[in-house]
Amino acid sequence: MDVLLLASRSLDRFKAEELLTEAGHRVHACFATDTWGCVALEADCPLEHSIDVAVSTPDSICGCFDPQGIACSWKAGVPVVAIGARPLDAVLRYADEAIERVTPKLVEQLERVVEKNRASSADGPLSAEAVEPND
């Protein structure tokens, strides 16, 4: 599984990265931990390649979610999982799944989101012939 981590400074981000790496998944970063800004400013955007799911965690300093990575992932059709969102966080409007905190079950939770996304993508969009105009 290819996972895009959207936060730069977050304990949950580092925990998620460790769990995913230990489980043999490929982890990509939206933001480098040692620089400011999107990695696409200096290299290829990970979303230009095959990403299965994006994981967003609130920043350790401000407690807010970064809207840039969420917007890019959402526009690219990559499912977004929000970890640690509060009930009124705007990220929940764009998240396919919300997880309270990082636990050892994270990999399993993300795999479920990816499978659900693949299943819904396999259904494809409705064709014009399948919809009757006056139904």
Encoded amino acid at 78, one letter: V
Please count the structural domains in the chain: 1
Q: Is residue 76 assigned to a domain?
A: yes
Say if residues 9 and 34 touch (Cβ distance below 8 Å): no
Give the model confidence (pLDDT) of 67-95 as tens digits.
888 999 999 999 999 999 998 888 999 99
CATH number for the domain spanning 93: value is: 3.40.50.2300
pTM: 0.83
| Top-confidence residue, 30 or 103 | 103
Q: Is residue 39 assigned to a domain?
A: yes
Average pLDDT, the chain: 85
Q: Is residue 108 assigned to a domain?
A: yes
Q: Is residue 49 assigned to a domain?
A: yes
Length of the chain: 135
Q: Is residue 118 assigned to a domain?
A: no
DSSP notation for the chain: -EEEE--SS-HHHHHHHHHHHHTT-EEEESB-TTSSSBGGGTS--GGGS---EEEE---TTT----HHHHHHHHHTT--EEEES--TT-GGGGT-SEEESS--TTHHHHHHHHHHHHHHHHHH-PPPGGGS-TT-
Q: Give the domain range for residue 12.
A: 2-112
